[in-house]
Chain A
Amino acid sequence: MNLALAPRPAVLTLEADSAFVTLDGVTKVFGTGKRAMTALENVSLEMTKGEFVCILGASGCGKSTLLSLIAGLDKATSGTIEIADGRPAVMFQEPALLPWLTVRRNVELPMRVHDVGADERNMRANRLLAMVGLIDFADHRPHQLSGGMRQRCALARALAQDSELLLMDEPFAALDAITRDQLHDDLNRIWQETGKTIIFVTHNVREAVRLGDRVVLMTPRPGRIAQTWDVEIERPRELDSFEVSGLAHEITTRLRAGAIDHGAE
């Protein structure tokens, strides 16, 4: 099942030939000397435009570190990261909404930062708020929203940055199962509508299988790619469908075997 280099289905890739995101031998070491800790070791990954890749791993496997390197929030110790289209938008585990701004103003924030004119800002904010189902809450403040609504707002804000690449760092981890399920549906729909390229970090196997075109499993200490699966289950997928459960089971088995494999290397 290791199909990392298999060609993508044509439907999902507009420019299947050219890599949109290229990670080549990315290594990240924190600290120096005896206290040095290798968080990532020789991580290489290629993504095509419009692809939805889930990076899966237990906490401490370096997946969030990898994301912040791609986001440009931190620098790799060695290796290169190339993104075909400018600065990626980031969605964090916490909504990170600015509490003094209304929902609308939060969504408009990236546009204000990048000097988008008032008319276009307003139009795009309306479109995005409608897309995430928050149009009726445009004038609320973050503290008046539920956890799920906050993450919807954060998603709209990330989309407002108008970047082709969207990085998501366990954005639904803090939500209850029912809300998370709804957000999976929404994200799937929004991804299909917008054609964004998404890198989605999670420790939830079923979440990864449900959402991703590809699931990249990472093992910890040092963080490296253990195995990659292409997910060819028809969308929209259901969390407890037979196919999703089956692949999730397979990945979980591999995840459990990780420690043994690691010792054998």
Chain B
Amino acid sequence: MERNKLQRVFKAVWPRALAIGILLGLWQLLVVVGFSSPAGEPLPGPGDTWSEIVYLIQTGVLIPALLMTLERAAIGYGVALAFGTIVGLAVARIPVLRAGVGSLLAGLQSLPSVVWVPIAVIFLSLGGNVEFAVYFVVLMGAFPSIAMGVMSAYDNIPPLTFSLARSMGASGPKYYRHFIFSASLPGYVAGMKQAWAFSWRSLMAAELIIGSVASGGLGPILDDGRSLGDIPEMLAAMVTILVVGIAVNDIIFAPLERGLLRRRGLVPA
């Protein structure tokens, strides 16, 4: 029994472990062949970067910055989720809004959120506080994905589900709760997952451009590394950013989506 469980974990983990191993190997290979910048700075290897991460943790730099960034991500994403859900539902249900706003949302989604940074800084840095500007950029980056997810989820509800709801006489909150929300959940979660990627990217762009060391966060560490020519610090920040992006997806969204699909018989158990 115990052995079976171990085998299962191994079976699930090995492809990913292998992929990471290959990636690290290629990186190390670049270091071994002496890849360097035009200015002659050598590329730090995985080992150097790891040491730098440990150093940044020990000096009390990385963890507070990480927490700061995660807090911004959580707040920004939360606002985008609420706003995107409302906008998506409204656009899906109201034909005039769909005609007017539907294509605009798709356009917004393809707009790199970094273009919102300058205007956000000018109009939303209230009292020198950049937080609102950062949230705004995250919101603009993430909410279109949520709204589009809600729209497509709504559009993909089988027409029979509506007939069923009507034949049962469901209306108001019960209509939404028992039929519409539940039926659109997989599409909604897919949108949430995509929106997370967008919000994480937007947040990094915003932090990198707006952020100063004083405002905290991972972006400023990366920027700090660049301005000081501290390449291991840059790489340490990059790896952290990458790992967080993957971890949030793996720990929160992937299991949520898998569970949903499995219960509905859309993937093998």
Q: Is B160 an interface residue (CB 8 A)?
A: yes
Binds A, one of B5-13, B88-96, B177-185, B218-226: B177-185
Q: Is B4 an interface residue (CB 8 A)?
A: no
**Interface contact B263-A100, CB-CB below 8 Å:** yes
Q: How far is the CB of A122 from chain B (nearest CB, A)?
A: 17
Smallest Cβ-Cβ distance to A68: which chain B residue: B163
**Interface contact A87-B169, CB-CB below 8 Å:** yes
**Interface contact A94-B264, CB-CB below 8 Å:** no
- A109–B264 CA distance with the chains assembled, in angstroms: 17
Q: For A109, what are the chain B residues with a Cβ–Cβ distance below 8 Å?
A: 168, 178
Q: Which of B166, B167, B170, B264 contacts A100 (CB 8 A)?
A: B264
Smallest Cβ-Cβ distance to B179: which chain A residue: A98
Q: How far is the CB of A235 from chain B (nearest CB, A)?
A: 28
Smallest Cβ-Cβ distance to A161: which chain B residue: B168
Interface of B is mostly: helix
Using a Cβ–Cβ cut-off of 8 Å, how many residues does chain A contribute to the interface with B?
Answer: 25
Q: How far is the CB of A144 from chain B (nearest CB, A)?
A: 7
**Interface contact A113-B161, CB-CB below 8 Å:** no
Q: How far is the CB of B258 from chain A (nearest CB, A)?
A: 14
Q: Which of A88-116 contact B (CB under 8 A)?
A: 88-90, 92, 94, 96, 98-101, 109-110, 112-114
Smallest Cβ-Cβ distance to B183: which chain A residue: A98
Smallest Cβ-Cβ distance to A99: which chain B residue: B264
Q: Is A73 an interface residue (CB 8 A)?
A: yes
Using a Cβ–Cβ cut-off of 8 Å, how many residues does chain B contribute to the interface with A?
Answer: 21
- A73–B167 CA distance with the chains assembled, in angstroms: 7
**Interface contact B178-A114, CB-CB below 8 Å:** no
- A241–B166 CA distance with the chains assembled, in angstroms: 39
**Interface contact B263-A141, CB-CB below 8 Å:** yes
* Known contacts A113-B169, A113-B178; A92/B164 CB under 8 A: yes
* Known contacts A96-B161, A98-B161, A98-B183; A114/B264 CB under 8 A: no
- A101–B174 CA distance with the chains assembled, in angstroms: 15
Smallest CB-CB A-B distances: 10 pairs = A143-B265, A90-B167, A99-B264, A113-B170, A96-B160, A110-B168, A96-B164, A113-B168, A87-B169, A113-B174
Interface residues of B (CB under 8 A from A): 158, 160-161, 163-164, 166-170, 174, 178-179, 182-183, 185, 260, 263-266
Q: A68-B163, A114-B169 are in contact. List 17 more A-B contacts (CB 8 A).
A: A72-B167, A87-B167, A89-B167, A90-B164, A90-B167, A92-B163, A94-B160, A96-B158, A96-B163, A99-B264, A100-B183, A100-B260, A100-B263, A100-B264, A109-B168, A143-B264, A161-B168
Q: Can you report 30 A-B residue pairs in the complex whose CB atoms are below 8 A from each other? A: A71-B167, A73-B163, A73-B167, A87-B167, A87-B169, A88-B167, A89-B167, A90-B163, A90-B164, A92-B160, A94-B160, A96-B164, A98-B178, A98-B179, A99-B263, A99-B264, A99-B265, A100-B263, A101-B182, A109-B178, A112-B174, A112-B178, A113-B168, A114-B168, A114-B169, A141-B264, A141-B265, A143-B264, A144-B265, A161-B168
